A = this chain, B = another copy of it.
Amino acid sequence: MMLGFAVIGAGRIGALHAENVARVIKGARLVAVMDADLERARAAAVDGYSTDEFDKVLEDRQVDAVLIASPTDQHAGQMIAAARAGKAIFCEKPVSLDVQLASSALQEVSKAGVPFQIGFQRRYDPGFAAAREQLDKIGRLEMFRAITCDPEPAPFEYLSGCGGIYADMAIHDIDIARFYGGDIVEVTAMGAALIVPQLAQVNDVDTSILTMRFASGAIGVIQNSRRAVYGYEIRTELLGSGGKLVIEEERATPLFRYDASGIHGDFHGWFIKRFRQAYRDELQAFVDAVRAGSPPAPGTRDALESLRVALAATRSLRDGGSVRVE
């Protein structure tokens, strides 16, 4: 049985998922792409049909699973509708910027008993996945550290509506922190608007250091910046009682050019390219789990907990001091 997909939202990431479902993922086929902008849906539909009606795909019995890649404020509503329609759900992060709404939506999903996976693709990146497999080789985890720097800030219109640096950007590092270190019980945020000063007007920052305490007793820190002129940077380190794991910045290729002006490495320009394989592997894992009848991961609890940590961080930034993750 091939899993029939409807992709909801045909923006950059939706189009990528549609292409992967249609061409790359084994055991899956693309039935439809839905977008309010029908033209955009059409362009992404590959060999499926395109539509601008969400209800239509829910009613379509060819559609076994929906892949929600619409704007964030539509995720929760679409999840609830899809859950009620009995569809398996793959949802881009975050479920919602409102933890209550996210919680309700995830409860509906659980109640309906449909398979659910949240789009934290970093867990499926080959390097991050290999680190997970080697985690027990460094003994007990004592200190977590992650850095993610975007190459350059997105426009202010985007930044001011994205839910803040923690729900939008750091949430990937938070998910990875939980992937290796388990639940986070307390966070303290510190930040500054140094790159896009207007962010101060919306109580947000572009340069952040977020510290955390894990339930296990380990501690951790996430550093984020909206700008790294030398290129997109992701680096993660796990210090344990028996050694450390370092997931270094990944280069697109192992080519280096040395000339009179310096050394020039082959950076991935941006996340779509950096996580090309992860975007495939997460979807393959989802399809495999659904077909096997086993629960996909990361699932509802991971979706909710990462959001809780991100929102606690946002609160800590605004009010100062450390905030317990409830």
List chain A positions with a Cβ less than 8 A from chain B.
Answer: 23-24, 26, 126-127, 130-131, 134, 137-138, 140, 142-143, 145, 147, 149, 188, 190-192, 194-195, 207-209, 211, 213, 217-221, 223, 225, 227-231, 239, 241-266, 320-322
Are A127 and B255 in contact (CB-based, < 8 A)? Answer: yes
Contacts of A190 in B (CB 8 A): 188, 211, 213, 219, 322
Q: How far is the CB of A198 from chain B (nearest CB, A)?
A: 15
In the bound complex, CA of A221 to CA of B143 (Å): 13
Are A188 and B207 in contact (CB-based, < 8 A)? Answer: no
Contacts of A138 in B (CB 8 A): 257, 259
Contact of A245 among B143, B251, B255 (CB under 8 A): B255
Are B243 and A227 in contact (CB-based, < 8 A)? Answer: no
Closest B residue to A258 by beta carbon equals B230
Q: What are 13 A-B contacts defined by CB distance under 8 Å?
A: A126-B252, A130-B252, A130-B253, A130-B255, A137-B259, A138-B259, A192-B219, A207-B219, A208-B219, A209-B220, A243-B260, A246-B255, A261-B261
Contacts of A245 in B (CB 8 A): 255-258
Are B219 and A145 in contact (CB-based, < 8 A)? Answer: no
In the bound complex, CA of A266 to CA of B246 (Å): 11
Contacts of A227 in B (CB 8 A): 241
Contact of A137 among B26, B147, B257, B266 (CB under 8 A): B257
In the bound complex, CA of A266 to CA of B241 (Å): 21
Q: How far is the CB of A26 from chain B (nearest CB, A)?
A: 8
Are B243 and A229 in contact (CB-based, < 8 A)? Answer: yes
Q: How far is the CB of A172 from chain B (nearest CB, A)?
A: 17
Q: How far is the CB of A107 from chain B (nearest CB, A)?
A: 33
Contact of A209 among B143, B250, B257 (CB under 8 A): B143
In the bound complex, CA of A251 to CA of B263 (Å): 14
The 10 closest A-B pairs by CB, nearest first: A262-B262, A243-B259, A127-B253, A230-B258, A248-B254, A263-B263, A250-B254, A262-B264, A126-B253, A229-B260
Contacts of A266 in B (CB 8 A): 127, 130
In the bound complex, CA of A259 to CA of B262 (Å): 10
Contact of A134 among B221, B252, B257, B261 (CB under 8 A): B257
By CB atoms of chain B within 10 A, which of A143, A192, A258, A320 has the most?
A258
Q: How far is the CB of A213 from chain B (nearest CB, A)?
A: 6
Contact of A259 among B225, B230, B254 (CB under 8 A): B230
Known: A219-B190, A223-B145. A244 touches B228 (CB 8 A): yes
Closest B residue to A263 by beta carbon equals B263
In the bound complex, CA of A207 to CA of B230 (Å): 31
